[in-house]
Structures are given as structure tokens and as C-alpha cells.
């Protein structure tokens, strides 16, 4: 494989890094201490600038208004955008919309594309993905209690979901619900588009996560579907294919997450090195960086980030060239390797900042609490490790 970054991509990355340093990082203190909704007008202004730079929706397909970047190129861009929590949102390639765009593009009817996909790519509306349930283990997603029963021309949905990220302010949810309890386990559920103003779509609360309820895009909702009625034409893809479609959504989505986490690593590493050099810890002005334990953290972080980065780019390259199925093991590996690398790097950077690291005067405390979830969502570490190990062990079974 060839990891050469094209001249075009180099120019784009330079522009993006410059934009992030100049336009977005200065907004972070306001972002971490005030509500996200209050920031929307200023973020919309930044989004206009991104559109003028012709860098809007970089990974979305060209035929619906995106730039159609390859996964490797988008991975590189995502790494740059991940240096700030505002990056993906302002360039419009944020989860969960990114995954929803992919599946609407692949499986949506013409009517669904017109009504939901086009305005979503244009940034006129937002969406969410509603699969995980309060009372069932998300790690075994075939165990779902939410049902969608046919009644006349409609589906009537009942169920109790939570962790529907970004539901607050979304225009529609893609809901995973059991449409045929008699079918085999992987064919029981379907994906159904539910506009959030449908009667029976009840957003109970934004869940308080690590001390923060969040709001709008930065939130995770608990939702009760109570006799929530939508037309059967809102079915996404064939009935019973919910898990097949979910698999399509998760492969590239994990590359996006991993590259975003590498951006977080990069930013934390930059902050760690600057602080280590500038913080004087002795009377004669020796900096923290003069201490071997800090040097070890710098070296270990640099090496771990590089290893995680190469693994992720390789997985992205394999998906681009051979498809997500061929890259299955690599995707499992990067999911837990990169999440843990990120947590170690953020932790070291925070430690180097001492008391300052705990404050919201740097972005590190936000990264520390917000990104703990990386080891849980899109498959907990343990689930990826055990399924990867089982596949590996099978190859030695003779």
C-alpha cells in the first residue's frame, strides 16, 4: 500500500488546520463553559465559510452534494478536524449524521432521498440513530424489545431507547425495531425513519453523562416510542434487513471515529509538549520537560500515536480497495487500540498540566470526560476483542 498524501490533500489539510487554529480553537472556552445551542449562530457563520472554501460535507457522496472523498482522504481530514470538538460539526461530517447519510444513500428510496438525504447533506436538518435500549444489552443488538407492528399502511412503534445521540434538535431518527419476531435472530429487525415531530416520539430527557446533560447536537437522549405511527413507506431498505444495513454503517463509521480520536491524540500531544517545555519547576528555571518521566511520556505517546495512525490508515485503505468485509479484523483491532491510545495520551497530557489540566481552561478536561465513551460505543472493547480472537482462533482449528 502507498501512504503518500496527494498534493491536493496536502493543500486541503493545510487549509483545514489553519482554519481550525484561527476560527474554531478560539471558540473552545465558550464551548466548554456555555451551552452549545447558544453557540449555534456563530457556528452557522463558520459553516458558511467552510462552504465558501468548498470543503463542505467532505465524505458525503457527490451526487447528493458532498465532496465524495475516499475513506483514506477523509480519514486524514477527520484527524485534522478531530483536533477540536467543533471540527466535524462545522465541516458537516459528524456522527451520527455521517452514518445516516451513508445508509440513506445506499438503501433509501427516491422519495426518502429527496425528503431526508438532500436536506441532511445540505446542513438544513440533523438526524439521529436510535438503536440502543435501556433494558437490553446493546452489546448483543439482536436482543431488542422495540417493536414496529403493521397497522393498515403504517408501522406502529413501541419501545424504550436511550443514548440516541443528538436527538435533541434532530428532524428525524432512524429507529431499529423488531418487525418480525418469528424470523431468525439477524432478520427480525428493520430500520424505520421516524420524523421527531411524530406523535408518540417522546424525548424523555437528555441523559446526564459525566455531569453534563448537554443540548442540541452535543447530547444523548432517552426516548419513549409510544404508539408512534409512521407510514410503511418510511421503511429503510428491505424489511428484516436492519442488521445487514447496520453492518454497512459501522465499518466506515469506525474509521471516522478512529481518525477523530487520532486528532484528539494530536492536539493533546501538542498541548503536553508545549506545557512540558514552558512550565518551570525549579528556581533556576528548569522545565518539566527536563524530567525523564515526562520525556518517556512524550516518546511513548509519539510512538503509540504513530502505530495507531498507521493501523487506521491501513484499515481505511483496505476498505477503499477491498471492501469493509475484507477489513473486518482490522476494523475490530483499531476500534480498541485507538480508543485506548487516545485515553492514555489524553491522560498523560492532563497529568502534565497538573491542576490546570482539570480546569476547563484547556480542552483536555473535555476530552477526558467526553471521550471515555470511546471504549463503549460502536462495540465495547471486550466485544471487539472476543469476536476478533474467535475469528483468529478459528484459523488454527484443524
Ligand X SMILES: Cc1cc2nc3c(=O)[nH]c(=O)nc-3n(C[C@H](O)[C@H](O)[C@H](O)COP(=O)(O)OP(=O)(O)OC[C@H]3O[C@@H](n4cnc5c(N)ncnc54)[C@H](O)[C@@H]3O)c2cc1C
Query: Residues interacting with ligand X, by CB under 6 A?
Result: 96, 129-132, 137-139, 163-165, 220, 373, 376-377, 380, 382-383, 386
Rounded CA gap, 329 and 322, in Å? 13
* Nearest distance, CB of residue 271 and ligand X, angstroms: 23
- For ligand X, the closer CB: 318 or 332: 332
In the complex, least distance from residue 368 CB atom to ligand X, rounded to whole angstroms: 14
> Minimum CB separation from ligand X for residue 221, in Å?
9
Cβ nearer to ligand X, comparing 294 with 333: 333
Q: Give the residue closest to ligand X by C-beta.
A: 138
Instruction: Please give the grid coordinates belonging to residue 137.
Output: 444489552
- Residue 167's CB is within 10 A of a number of other CB atoms, namely 27
Please tell me the distance from the alpha carbon of residue 7 to that of residue 12, in angstroms, as a whole number: 9
How would you classify residue 207: left for phi > 0, otherwise alpha for psi between -120 and 50, otherwise beta? beta
Using the minimum distance from each CB to ligand X, give the nearer residue, 137 or 181. Answer: 137
Q: Tell me the backbone φ, ψ of residue 158, rounded to 5 degrees.
A: -135, 130
Query: What CA–CA distance (Å, rounded) separates 45 from 28?
Result: 16
66 versus 99: smaller Cβ distance to ligand X: 99
In angstroms, the CA 132 to CA 128 distance is 12
Q: Which is nearer to ligand X, 22 or 390 (CB)?
A: 390
Please answer whether residues 155 and 179 qualify as being in contact, where contact means their C-beta atoms are separated by less than 8 angstroms: yes
Nearer to ligand X, 83 or 375 (CB): 375
Nearer residue to ligand X within complex by CB, 65 or 159:
159
Least spacing, CB of residue 370 vs ligand X, in Å:
8
Helix or strand holding residue 19 (H, E):
helix 7-19
Closest separation in Å from C-beta 173 to ligand X: 9
Closer residue to ligand X (CB): 32 or 109? 32
Task: For the CB of residue 55, give the shortest distance to ligand X in the complex, in Å.
Answer: 25
CB of 169 vs ligand X, minimal distance in Å: 14
Provide the 10 A C-beta neighbour count for residue 357.
22
Taking the C-alpha atoms of residue 338 and residue 394, their distance in angstroms, rounded to an integer, is: 25
Report in angstroms how near the CB of residue 132 gets to ligand X at its nearest. 3
Q: How far is CA 162 from CA 40, 82, 220, 277, 393, in A?
A: 25, 25, 7, 44, 35
Q: How far is CA 208 from CA 122, 213, 241, 370, in A?
A: 30, 4, 33, 12
Residues 29 and 188: their CA atoms lie apart, in Å, by: 46
Amino acid at each position: 500500500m502507498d501512504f503518500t498524501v496527494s498534493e491536493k490533500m496536502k493543500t486541503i489539510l493545510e487549509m483545514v488546520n489553519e482554519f481550525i487554529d484561527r476560527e474554531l480553537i478560539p471558540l473552545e472556552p465558550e464551548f466548554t463553559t456555555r451551552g452549545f445551542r447558544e453557540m449555534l449562530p456563530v457556528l452557522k457563520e463558520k459553516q458558511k465559510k467552510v462552504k465558501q472554501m468548498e470543503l463542505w460535507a467532505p465524505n458525503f457522496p457527490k451526487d447528493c452534494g458532498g465532496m465524495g472523498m475516499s475513506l483514506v482522504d477523509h480519514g486524514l481530514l477527520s484527524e485534522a478536524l478531530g483536533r477540536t470538538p467543533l471540527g466535524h460539526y462545522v465541516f458537516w461530517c459528524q456522527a451520527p449524521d455521517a452514518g445516516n447519510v451513508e445508509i440513506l444513500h445506499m438503501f433509501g428510496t427516491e422519495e426518502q432521498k429527496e425528503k431526508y438525504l438532500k436536506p441532511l447533506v445540505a446542513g438544513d436538518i440533523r438526524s439521529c440513530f436510535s438503536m440502543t435500549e435501556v433494558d437490553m444489552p446493546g452489546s448483543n443488538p439482536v436482543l431488542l424489545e422495540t417493536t414496529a407492528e403493521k397497522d393498515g399502511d403504517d408501522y406502529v412503534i413501541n419501545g424504550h431507547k436511550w443514548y440516541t445521540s443528538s436527538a435533541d434538535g434532530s428532524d428525524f431518527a432512524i429507529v431499529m425495531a423488531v418487525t418480525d419476531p418469528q424470523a431468525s435472530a439477524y432478520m427480525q429487525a428493520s430500520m424505520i425513519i421516524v420524523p421527531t415531530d411524530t406523535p408518540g416520539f417522546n424525548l424523555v430527557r437528555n441523559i446526564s453523562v459525566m455531569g453534563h446533560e448537554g443540548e442540541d447536537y452535543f447530547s444523548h437522549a432517552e426516548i419513549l416510542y409510544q404508539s408512534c405511527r409512521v407510514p410503511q413507506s418510511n421503511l429503510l431498505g428491505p424489511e428484516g434487513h436492519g442488521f445487514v444495513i447496520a453492518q454497512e454503517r459501522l465499518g466506515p463509521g469506525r474509521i471516522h471515529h478512529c481518525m477523530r480520536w487520532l486528532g484528539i491524540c494530536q492536539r493533546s500531544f501538542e498541548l503536553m509538549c508545549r506545557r512540558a517545555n514552558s512550565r518551570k519547576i525549579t528556581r533556576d528555571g528548569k522545565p518539566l520537560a527536563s524530567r525523564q518521566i515526562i520525556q518517556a511520556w512524550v516518546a511513548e505517546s509519539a510512538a503509540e500515536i504513530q502505530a495507531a495512525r498507521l493501523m487506521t490508515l491501513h484499515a481505511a485503505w483496505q476498505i477503499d480497495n477491498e471492501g469493509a468485509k475484507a477489513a473486518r479484523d482490522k476494523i475490530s483491532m483499531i476500534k480498541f487500540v485507538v480508543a485506548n491510545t487516545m485515553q492514555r495520551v489524553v491522560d498523560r497530557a492532563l497529568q502534565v498540566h497538573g491542576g490546570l489540566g482539570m480546569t476547563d481552561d484547556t480542552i483536555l478536561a473535555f476530552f477526558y470526560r467526553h471521550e471515555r465513551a470511546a471504549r463503549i460505543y460502536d462495540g465495547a472493547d471486550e466485544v471487539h476483542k472476543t469476536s476478533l480472537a474467535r475469528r483468529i482462533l478459528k484459523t488454527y482449528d484443524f
